[in-house]
């Protein structure tokens, strides 16, 4: 079985595949100091609760935007799962052209999303990922990843608002019934939620105008469904695009990974 790992700034997601079927998925908070033993203790127990053993894992593929966390995951894979972890962008090349000034600076998750979106939808594409940051990524007609835009994530904005303004409480992300709030909480919910709808529609519109052709727009990430019904710019919702991209990259490199070889040892 394949263990796919997506290390984000806030959460690390582990997905277990019996190809091509997803048979288990777990989420831990991302901790740059977490050791291989700590990862293994948590993950092996979670797998057991689903009826799986760590000995069933035959391959590990990682996408990470937190370099410090990769070391512990590499050692966990080697010491507890008996296989080498392959990191996308380090051990495995991106299976898509990256048309940037410096291709090495792009976050792996953004390119992995593009790989999955390119397989599932017809380019040109805009991928809106609701994570710690809200990212807008573009795949052109030729199927190349050609950049995008990065904005603060909605939860990050809420936390900043709470910390910077003494009288503003910490609130959850909820779509308010009306734009004009009649309390502080309603006003905050309106400003953040409808402000993000405006951000999405505005940036998508500007990207399409700059591109000069109609583009398919895909929303992904945990908060994507919250905006789907209230933001017409989002044409498709695909919550697990990053994991789908990791699965695709594994399929394209199956023999390389099974042999234990890659760009670096």
Residue 7 marked ligand-binding: yes
Residue 238 marked ligand-binding: no
Residue 61 marked ligand-binding: no
Please, are residues 241 and 220 in contact by the beta-carbon 8 Å criterion?
yes
Residue 79 marked ligand-binding: no
Residue 12 marked ligand-binding: yes
DSSP string, 178-245: -SS-SSHHHHHHHHHHHHHHHHHHHHHHHHHHHHTS--EEEEESTTHHHHHTT-TT--EE-TTHHHHH
Residue 108 marked ligand-binding: yes
Residue 110 marked ligand-binding: yes
Residue 140 marked ligand-binding: no
Residue 57 marked ligand-binding: no
Q: Which of 91, 109, 137, 240 is catalytic?
A: 109
Residue 134 marked ligand-binding: no
CA angle 154/228/136 to nearest 5° reads 55
C-alpha–C-alpha distance, residues 131 and 154, integer Å: 8
Our answer to whether residue 109 is catalytic in this structure is: yes
Residue 72 marked ligand-binding: no
136-165 burial, b at 16+ Cβ within 10 Å, e below that, comes to bbbbbeebbbbbbbebebbbbbbeebeeee
Residues 6+ apart with CB under 8 A from 244: 116, 119, 120, 238
Binding region for ATP? 6-13, 132
**Residues with catalytic roles:** 109
Binding region? 6-13, 107-110, 129, 132, 184
Binding region for substrate? 107-110, 184
Binding region for K(+)? 129
């Amino acid at each position: 079985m394949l263990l796919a790992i997506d290390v984000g700034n806030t959460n690390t997601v582990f997905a277990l595949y019996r190809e091509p079927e997803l048979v288990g998925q777990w989420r831990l908070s991302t901790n740059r100091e977490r050791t291989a033993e700590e990862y293994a203790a948590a993950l092996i127990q979670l797998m057991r609760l689903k009826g799986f053993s760590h000995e069933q894992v035959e391959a590990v593929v990682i996408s990470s935007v937190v370099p410090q966390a990769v070391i512990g995951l590499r050692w966990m894979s080697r010491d507890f799962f008996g296989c080498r972890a392959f990191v996308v962008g380090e051990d495995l090349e991106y299976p898509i052209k990256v048309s940037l000034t410096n291709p090495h600076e792009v976050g792996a998750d953004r390119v992995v999303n593009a790989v999955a979106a390119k397989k599932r939808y017809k380019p040109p594409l805009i991928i809106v990922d609701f994570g710690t940051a809200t990212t807008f990524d573009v795949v052109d007609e030729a199927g190349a990843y050609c950049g995008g835009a990065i904005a603060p994530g909605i939860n990050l904005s809420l936390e900043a608002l709470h910390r910077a303004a003494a009288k503003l409480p910490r609130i959850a992300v909820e779509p308010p019934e009306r734009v004009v709030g009649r309390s502080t909480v309603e006003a905050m919910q309106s400003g953040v939620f409808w402000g993000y709808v405006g951000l999405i529609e505005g940036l998508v519109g500007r990207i399409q105008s700059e591109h000069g052709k109609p583009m398919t727009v895909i929303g992904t990430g945990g908060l994507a469904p919250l905006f789907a019904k209230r933001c017409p710019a989002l044409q498709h919702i695909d919550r697990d695009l990053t994991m789908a991209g990791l699965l695709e990259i594994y399929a394209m490199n199956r023999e390389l990974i099974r042999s234990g070889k890659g760009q670096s040892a």
